């Protein structure tokens, strides 16, 4: 038996069902639903950009003769260019690290907790990546610096994504705060759209969800701003080039 | 009292959200469920890591190209790793001696059956056979011209070497490198999850 993509996808889908049930109880149904939707959209946005930019792809099995008897050649459920399983994996890792960081250092600040969550998430992906690339669940195709065939950019990306996502979730949904630096900007944009001038703590749940989505979009900009120099630096010290386009 | 009622009415969604907050016992059980699922996921990944060791030992497995689905006309065998200049015609009846395979390319090596009728353009075969990528030196496409006086800039290899290569890890420590890596990391993650579970259990006992 091989740890092929079907095994990976089936395992993730089964684990997800149990995990979602558990996290609904741990976080509360509405909050977990918001966390799940946010995490799925967040990872989808990042990975879709990565696929479009030629950084990674999920298509090895689709092109492989050996797996042609599998339905659709590889992953079964796709969200555009990215398989659902990849998004669910991000959700499970982000939610688990969020809960762990809250439980382990409950009195620490938001940023420290988010940093711990990001660090634990990197641990998870350090375990997942070698198995994923060996079995071609996904393929990294970026000119970059690689350690055990994992581009360091990917690990920085996981840290930044989980850190920012958890920070936004905590600041918007759990603690519902205004950000000093962003307050003026949010008052002029998001709160105008929501037709309210209330403190986030006094928004109703629907408005809070929209604010969460808005802040996630803003954090994607921050993510891009963080990742650009990281990609450039590792591009400059790359030890592996891009796989030819006709691959 | 009236003011309080008005205030509650005004912020009823917020109050509902507070009510939605699960009680600590339910939250603790939910956390334990999540922790158990993630531990099982980690165990599953460790097992899959063990299953992947054979593949990972091949240093070029990670960047090995997939075997294309498309088939070419019947009659002639051509190795998939062979680059043939476009426009070249196969002599009728020519067969390149390669073992037929139905395995993963990374397992079986670059071998593949392609049938061709005598006189068919080999370019047709090449169009369905991507250029090989298991190379350490940069490949030059057929027909490409390099000026003799100018040393071309050396492009980066498409495979990694040294610590950058997973194959080196997998072949290290008596060919148990990847197993040990996956096991150590998996145990570390399980310990982190256990620390969280212990905190939650302590909270449950004290309250």
Average pLDDT score, chain B: 65
| Residue A26 to residue B31, Cβ atoms within 8 A | yes
| Residue A149 to residue B38, Cβ atoms within 8 A | no
Q: What is the pLDDT of residue B92?
A: 42
**Nearest CB neighbour to A126, from listed B17, B105, B185:** B185
Q: What residues does each domain of chain A span?
A: 5-179+214-238
Which residues on chain B are in Cβ contact (under 8 Å) with A21? 30, 33
The model's pLDDT over A187-236, given as tens digits with 9 standing for 90+, comes to 777 777 777 777 777 788 888 899 899 999 999 999 999 999 999 999 99
Whether residue B31 contacts residue A99, with contact meaning beta carbons closer than 8 Å, is answered with yes
Phi, psi of A144 (to 5 degrees): -160, -175
Is B113 an 8 Å CB contact of chain A? no
In the structure encoding, which two tokens stand for residue A171, read together?
A: 């600041």
Mean pLDDT of B94-121: 40
Q: What is the pLDDT of residue B70?
A: 56
- pLDDT at residue A160 above 90? yes
Q: What is the pTM of this model?
A: 0.77
Looking at per-residue confidence, does B207 or B15 come out higher? B207
The model's pLDDT over A66-113, given as tens digits with 9 standing for 90+, comes to 555 555 557 888 888 899 999 999 999 999 999 999 999 988 999 999
A residues 79-138 near B, CB within 8 Å?
92, 95-96, 99-100, 103-104, 120, 123-124, 126-128, 130-131, 133-136
B residues 23-52 near A, CB within 8 Å?
26-38, 40-42, 44-46, 48-49, 51-52
A24: nearest Cα among B23, B20, B30, B14: B30
- Closest chain B residue to A92, measured at CA: B38
Q: What is the pLDDT of residue B147?
A: 46
Q: What is the pLDDT of residue B31?
A: 94
Mean pLDDT of A106-135: 94
The model's pLDDT over B114-150, given as tens digits with 9 standing for 90+, comes to 444 444 443 344 444 444 444 444 444 444 444 455 5
pLDDT tier, B190 (very low <50, low <70, confident <90, very high otherwise): very high
DSSP per-residue letters across B113-180: -----TT-BHHHHHHTSPPP---SSPP--TT----SSSPPP-PPPSS--GGG-HHHHHHHHHHTHHHH
Q: What per-residue string of b and e applies to B62-74 under the rule 16 or more CB within 10 Å gives b? A: bbbbbbbeeebee
In the structure encoding, which two tokens stand for residue B184, read together?
A: 């150590």
**Nearest CB neighbour to B14, from listed A131, A145, A204:** A204
Q: What is the pLDDT of residue A21?
A: 95
DSSP per-residue letters across A108-166: S-HHHHHHHHHHHHHHHHHHHHHHHHHTTSSEE--SB-EETTEEHHHHHHHHHHHHHHH
Measure the CA–CA gap between A165 and A171, rounded to whole angstroms.
10
Other Cβ atoms closer than 10 A to A143: 21
Helix residue ranges per DSSP H, chain A? 5-27, 29-52, 84-104, 110-134, 152-169, 183-188, 190-193, 205-236
Measure the CA–CA gap between A71 and A66, rounded to whole angstroms.
12
The ipTM assigned to this model is 0.92
- pLDDT at residue A50 above 80? yes
A153: nearest Cα among A54, A242, A227: A227
Average pLDDT score, chain A: 88
Q: Virtual CA dihedral for B169, B173, B176, B179, nearest 10 degrees?
A: -60
List the single range of A234-243, B30-39, B176-185 with lowest mean pLDDT. Answer: A234-243
């Amino acid at each position: 038996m091989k740890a092929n993509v079907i095994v990976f996808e089936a395992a993730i889908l089964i684990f997800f069902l149990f995990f979602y049930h558990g996290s609904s109880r741990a976080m509360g149904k509405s909050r977990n639903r918001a966390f799940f939707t946010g995490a799925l959209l967040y990872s989808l946005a990042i990975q879709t950009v990565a696929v479009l930019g030629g950084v990674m792809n999920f298509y090895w099995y689709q092109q492989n003769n050996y797996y042609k008897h599998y339905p659709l050649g590889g992953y079964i459920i796709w969200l555009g260019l990215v398989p659902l399983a990849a998004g669910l994996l991000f959700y499970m890792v982000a939610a688990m690290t969020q809960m762990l960081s809250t439980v382990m250092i409950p009195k620490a600040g938001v940023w420290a907790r988010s940093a711990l969550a990001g660090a634990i998430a990197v641990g998870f992906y350090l375990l997942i990546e070698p198995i994923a690339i060996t079995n071609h669940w996904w393929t990294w195709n970026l000119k970059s610096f690689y350690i055990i065939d994992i581009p360091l950019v990917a690990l920085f990306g996981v840290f930044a994504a989980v850190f920012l996502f958890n920070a936004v979730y905590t600041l918007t949904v759990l603690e519902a705060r205004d950000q000093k630096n962003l307050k003026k900007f949010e008052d002029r944009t998001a709160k105008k759209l929501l037709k309210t001038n209330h403190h986030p703590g006094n928004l109703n749940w629907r408005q809070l969800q929209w604010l969460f989505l808005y802040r996630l979009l803003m954090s994607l900009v921050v993510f891009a701003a963080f990742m650009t120099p990281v990609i450039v630096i590792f591009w400059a010290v790359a030890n592996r080039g891009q796989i030819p386009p006709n691959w | 009292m009236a003011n309080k009622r008005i205030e509650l009415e005004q912020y009823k969604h917020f109050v509902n959200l507070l009510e939605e907050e699960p009680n600590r016992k339910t939250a603790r059980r939910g956390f334990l469920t999540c922790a158990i699922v993630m531990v099982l996921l980690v165990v599953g990944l460790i097992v899959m890591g063990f299953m992947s060791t054979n593949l990972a030992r091949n240093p070029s497995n990670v960047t090995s190209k997939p075997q294309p689905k498309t088939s070419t006309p019947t009659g002639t065998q051509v190795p998939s790793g062979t680059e043939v200049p476009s426009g070249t015609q196969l002599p009728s009846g020519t067969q390149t001696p390669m073992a037929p395979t139905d395995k993963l390319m990374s397992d079986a090596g670059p071998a593949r059956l392609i049938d061709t009728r005598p006189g068919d353009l080999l370019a047709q075969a090449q169009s369905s056979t991507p250029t090989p990528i298991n190379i350490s030196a940069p490949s030059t496409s057929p027909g490409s011209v390099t000026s003799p006086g100018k040393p071309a800039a050396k492009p980066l290899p498409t495979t990694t070497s040294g610590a950058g290569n997973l194959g080196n890890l997998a072949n290290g420590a008596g060919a148990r490198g990847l197993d040990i890596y996956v096991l150590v990391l998996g145990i570390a993650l399980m310990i982190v999850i256990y620390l969280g579970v212990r905190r939650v259990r302590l909270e449950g006992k004290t309250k």
